[in-house]
Amino acid sequence: MVNETNDTKNNTPAAYLVAEVCYCMAFFMLKKLLEQKILSPEICQQINVAVAEKYGVLRLNI
């Protein structure tokens, strides 16, 4: 997982790739929770935006 010192600020390809992978894992987990109706679409969207901002990546639409 990306270090709490926010390694994505290094702007290296490796740091960005790690951030993208972490975001994708979180995104697909959110999608699964939405499909299982554990979380509402509104909550999933809020979490999705927050996670994308945390990792500094472009967000996907749920």
pLDDT digits (tens, 9 = 90+) for 17-34: 999 999 999 999 999 999
Q: CB-side exposure of 1: number of CA atoms within 13 Å? A: 6
Is the pLDDT confidence value at 6 over 60? no
Is the pLDDT confidence value at 41 over 90? yes
CA distance 45 to 62: 7
Binning pLDDT at 50, 70 and 90, where does residue 9 land?
A: low
pTM: 0.79
> Average pLDDT of 2-19?
73
Q: Which amino acid is at 58?
A: L
Q: Which amino acid is at 43?
A: I
